[in-house]
Amino acid sequence: MTRFAFDIHATDGKARTGTIRMMRGDIRTPAFMPVGTAATVKAMKMEDVHASGADIILGNTYHLMLRPGAERVARLGGLHKFGGWDRPILTDSGGYQVMSLSDLRKITEEGVTFASHLDGSRHLLSPERSMEIQRLLGSDIVMCFDECPRADQPRDVIAKSMEMSMRWARRSREAFNAGAEHAERAALFGIQQGALDEGLRKASADALTDIGFDGYAIGGLAVGEGQEAMFATLDFAPQQLPADRPRYLMGVGKPDDLVGAVERGVDMFDCVLPTRSGRNGQGFTWNGPVNIRNARHAEDTGPLDERCPCPTCTKYSRAYLHHLHKSGEMLGAMLLTEHNLWFYQQLMAGMRAAIAEGRFAAFAADFRRDYFAR
Ligand SMILES: [Zn+2]
């Protein structure tokens, strides 16, 4: 059995399409990973997540370590068995969420001590503890523990943070390797930092490549810098990372973000947007986002998206979805989430086919014409 392999089938400009092969299954790239924060992709049964076209989902270390706890998940047979998903799972390191959600953080070279946002209990997250938690969860793709500073800070602050993240990456690699059986079937990804600075990004990429990882993430983007600044960074950041390894842009994004990032050489994505938006009444379509709560849908008997083959669009009208969301019915969140996940997977499938056939530029142009047509 192959622990981890990445085969690139075709390239078109900087865009690539391929397959990541792991013991629990193949991951077609460019890939979108639905976010399963607390061992659930909110409002979705796992069989329906799979039916949408997802090859892999993401789990959040920070949430799972606090509730139900990594040791408990391990006693219950691991995250796959616990949540009913037998394909690959990528877990984040907890580094990003400990910065954004917890209270009373103290960051030292050792790691981050913090108070839980749930009950105020004190915890330590370090490279070693993060690797241990991700091993207890049974993660297939483990992420290095890093610090993600705000992008608007002075260069020397960003540089010092990046350099500590690179020392943490080496400690993560050593702790992962010590994980015996788990290290023989899981993969470890490093995370490039350096905010919007080309030189710092290069130094980070070189430090990570020197340690050696199965794949490389681009961290520290989609943190409020805006699409223009993100794309400007993606004009150089992916090419600084090894060409024969998957490149994962963390926490991105809107459909047009995904197209622009694939265009710049990114292979993997995760984002809460399709699921969170589905609960809030926003549906993504080939003609742009739709607010289903808007009164103009109240008597619209058509589907949310004419081109979408998902269970929601096949069976239910905009008028019914509008009614469910206006009434606060939980089925409204379920049906719109399911559509959004299908839409994201159809977008990825469309990009994969276009790259394979050497027509990605035309695909991207058609997508933007329809998506932004108003
Ligand atoms: Zn649909």
Q: What is the pLDDT of residue 308?
A: 98
Distance (Å, whole) CA 165 – CA 145: 7
Distance 341 CA to ligand 1 centre (A): 9
In this predicted structure, the answer to whether residue 366 has a pLDDT above a threshold of 90 is yes
- Give the Å distances, CA to CA, from 321 to 65, 283, 289, 306, 328: 36, 10, 15, 15, 11
In this predicted structure, the answer to whether residue 208 has a pLDDT above a threshold of 80 is yes
Give me the amino acid identity at 92. D
Residue 30 pLDDT grade (very low, low, confident, very high; cuts 50, 70, 90)? very high
Q: What is the pLDDT of residue 289?
A: 98
Q: Which two tokens stand for residue 121?
A: 């209990």
- Across the range 74-97, mean pLDDT stands at 96
In this predicted structure, the answer to whether residue 104 has a pLDDT above a threshold of 90 is no
pLDDT, tens digit, 9 for 90 and up, residues 286-313: 999 999 999 999 999 999 999 999 999 9
Residue 358 pLDDT grade (very low, low, confident, very high; cuts 50, 70, 90)? very high
- Across the range 240-254, mean pLDDT stands at 98
In this predicted structure, the answer to whether residue 1 has a pLDDT above a threshold of 90 is no
Residue among 32, 26, 30 nearest 10 (CA): 30
Distance (Å, whole) CA 194 – CA 221: 10
Give me the amino acid identity at 303. P
| Region of 56 on the Ramachandran plot (φ > 0 left; ψ -120 to 50 alpha; else beta) | beta
Question: How many other β-carbons are positioned within 10 Å of the β-carbon of residue 229?
Answer: 14
Say which residue the tokens 């399409």 belong to. 17
In this predicted structure, the answer to whether residue 250 has a pLDDT above a threshold of 90 is yes
Least confident of 70-74, 272-276, 370-374: 370-374
Q: What is the pLDDT of residue 150?
A: 82
Residue 41 pLDDT grade (very low, low, confident, very high; cuts 50, 70, 90)? very high
pLDDT, tens digit, 9 for 90 and up, residues 124-164: 999 999 999 999 999 999 999 999 888 889 999 999 999 99
Distance 326 CA to ligand 1 centre (A): 19
In this prediction the pTM is 0.98
Distance (Å, whole) CA 333 – CA 214: 36
Distance 270 CA to ligand 1 centre (A): 20
pLDDT over 90, % of the chain:
94
- Across the range 15-26, mean pLDDT stands at 98
In this predicted structure, the answer to whether residue 374 has a pLDDT above a threshold of 80 is no
In this predicted structure, the answer to whether residue 243 has a pLDDT above a threshold of 90 is yes
- Across the range 83-110, mean pLDDT stands at 91
Distance 314 CA to ligand 1 centre (A): 7
Residue 112 CB burial class (10 angstroms; 0-12, 13-18, ≥19): buried
Distance 302 CA to ligand 1 centre (A): 11
Task: Return the axis-axis angle of helices 155-177 and 127-137, rounded to nearest 10°.
Answer: 50
Secondary structure of residue 90 in the 3-state scheme: strand
Q: Return the active site residues.
A: 92, 270
Element (H, E) at 143: strand 141-143
In this predicted structure, the answer to whether residue 231 has a pLDDT above a threshold of 80 is yes
Q: What is the pLDDT of residue 215?
A: 98
Distance 34 CA to ligand 1 centre (A): 16
Per DSSP bridges, beta strands 247-249 and 268-271 are parallel
Q: Which two tokens stand for residue 12?
A: 């078109």
Q: How many CA atoms lie within 13 A of 215 on its CB side?
A: 31
Distance 52 CA to ligand 1 centre (A): 10
In sequence order, the 6+-apart residues with CB closer than 8 A to the CB of 253 are 222, 261, 269, 271, 273
In sequence order, the 6+-apart residues with CB closer than 8 A to the CB of 315 are none
Task: Return the axis-axis angle of helices 155-177 and 198-211, rounded to nearest 10°.
Answer: 10
Distance 304 CA to ligand 1 centre (A): 6
pLDDT over 70, % of the chain:
100
Distance (Å, whole) CA 165 – CA 157: 12
In this predicted structure, the answer to whether residue 81 has a pLDDT above a threshold of 90 is yes
**Who wins on pLDDT, 112 or 151?**
112
Distance 316 CA to ligand 1 centre (A): 9
Taking the chain, what is the end-to-end CA distance rounded to the nearest angstrom?
50
Q: What is the pLDDT of residue 100?
A: 84
Q: Please identify every residue whose CB atom is under 5 Å from ligand 1, which is an ion.
A: 308, 310, 312-313, 339
- Give the Å distances, CA to CA, from 125 to 98, 109, 324: 8, 11, 41
- Give the Å distances, CA to CA, from 65 to 44, 79, 354: 22, 12, 40
